[in-house]
Amino acid sequence: MSGSEVLAAAMVGLGLALVGVGILSRFRSRTESLADILDLPYGERDVAIEPVSETRSPLLTDTIQLASKMVDQFDERGSLQTKLERARLPIRSGEFVVVTICVALVLALVLSAVTEQWLFGLAAAVATPFVAKAYLTRRIEKRRKAFEEQLPEALSVIASSLSAGHTFLRSIQMLCEESQPPMSEEFQRVVSETRLGGGVVDALDRMARRLDIKDLIWVVQAIRIQQQVGGKLADLLHTLADFIRAREDIRREVNVLTAEGRISAWVLTALPVFIMLSIQVTNPAYLQPFFQGWGLLVLGVTAASVLTGFFIIRRMVQIEV
């Protein structure tokens, strides 16, 4: 394959990727503009409504609507939309599916052109949805871990505010002003739901279920019990903060002890793929026997064994605390 053909394929893939990034950036800016309008008190200042009132092209709208209908049919429980909400991605499930399909097509075209083998393009297209799902899971886990690390200090701040004479809701508002995301984002949503007429504990319970954090669920249950039986809420929150802080120390120790296994799983899985792609690009004739006859079976068995080893190692180092 000549250098000009490789450059052309790379430029096409880069152009399609930039188009996808532009679409996502536009969606995000419109979502942020709408959030600014909704959060502003009435009459505070004029806000331009053009950024959120623009209409999309008919082709893009029809494509997203079709993808949304397919997602609704195959995902009746709305698990994809729930994951997008937990990951705090400002797109809907249909938009996420469209972006994933576009990325799969771009990767398939680029790899097929670079390696001169359609099998690599097919493998990239098949693997893209799983990579997208892994990206969502990784983003959710990263956000959940950040929240768990901030939770003990947040409970201590709320307890100190209660001891100073503030109300529970006011203490949460002060926490939103002093803390960093994701803690401030989630508790700000609790404050917003309370302003709409809901109860504070009910809003906290919805936040705990949405984030799916066991420590936070226990905290909400303890607060609900305290409201029924009475007692000092500040002392209860201090006790919970000490308990959760001890659990967080154990989690960090477990992560340190299992770091080598987790890294080994990723390295041992990515190394064969990287070597195969490198050989295919530098010397395509060397791997040609693998793409015909029994070679395809050997590649399938090899891929299955690599994935099996990856999941076994991940299972061994996954320790719940």
Question: Which residue did the predictor score with more confidence, 127 or 9?
Answer: 127
| Residues contacting residue 208 through CB under 8 Å, at least 6 positions apart | 216, 217, 219, 220
- Other Cβ atoms less than 10 A from the Cβ of 34: the count is 16
pLDDT tens string 272-288: 888 888 888 888 788 88
pLDDT bracket for residue 80 (50, 70, 90)? confident
Residues found in the chain = 321
CA dist., res. 6 & res. 136, Å (int): 31
CA dist., res. 186 & res. 271, Å (int): 39
Range from 44-53, 84-93, 180-189 carrying the lowest mean pLDDT: 44-53
pLDDT tens string 144-154: 888 888 899 98
- Mean per-residue pLDDT of the chain: 79
| Residues contacting residue 59 through CB under 8 Å, at least 6 positions apart | none
Question: Which residue did the predictor score with more confidence, 72 or 319?
Answer: 319
Question: Which residue did the predictor score with more confidence, 54 or 147?
Answer: 147
CA dist., res. 266 & res. 247, Å (int): 27
Question: Which residue did the predictor score with more confidence, 52 or 305?
Answer: 305
pLDDT tens string 203-216: 888 888 888 888 88
pLDDT of residue 92: 80
- The answer to whether residue 43 scores a pLDDT higher than 50 is no
- Region 38-48: mean pLDDT is 51
pLDDT tens string 221-265: 988 888 888 778 888 888 989 988 888 888 888 888 888 888 998
The dihedral region occupied by 45, where left means phi > 0, alpha psi between -120 and 50, and beta the remainder, is: beta
pLDDT of residue 104: 87
Question: Which residue did the predictor score with more confidence, 26 or 300?
Answer: 300
Distances (CA, A) of 162 to 115, 206, 225: 64, 22, 17
| Residues contacting residue 183 through CB under 8 Å, at least 6 positions apart | 146, 147, 150, 151, 154, 175
pLDDT of residue 58: 61
pTM of the model: 0.70
pLDDT bracket for residue 113 (50, 70, 90)? confident
CA gyration radius for the chain?
25
CA dist., res. 300 & res. 294, Å (int): 10
pLDDT of residue 44: 47
pLDDT tens string 298-315: 888 988 998 899 889 888
pLDDT of residue 251: 85
Structure tokens at 293: 């006859």
pLDDT of residue 42: 45
- Other Cβ atoms less than 10 A from the Cβ of 158: the count is 24
Half-sphere exposure (Cβ direction) of 69: Cα atoms closer than 13 Å: 5
pLDDT of residue 317: 84
Here the contacts of 245-250 (C-beta below 8 Å, separation 24 or greater) are 245/152, 247/215, 247/321, 248/148, 248/149, 248/152, 250/321
- Region 59-69: mean pLDDT is 66
- Region 122-130: mean pLDDT is 86
Half-sphere exposure (Cβ direction) of 148: Cα atoms closer than 13 Å: 23
pLDDT of residue 102: 84
Find the helix or strand (DSSP H, E) in which 110 lies.
helix 93-115
- The answer to whether residue 40 scores a pLDDT higher than 60 is no
- The answer to whether residue 200 scores a pLDDT higher than 50 is yes
| Residues contacting residue 236 through CB under 8 Å, at least 6 positions apart | 222, 223, 226
Is there a contact between 93 and 69 (Cβ–Cβ < 8 Å)?
A: no
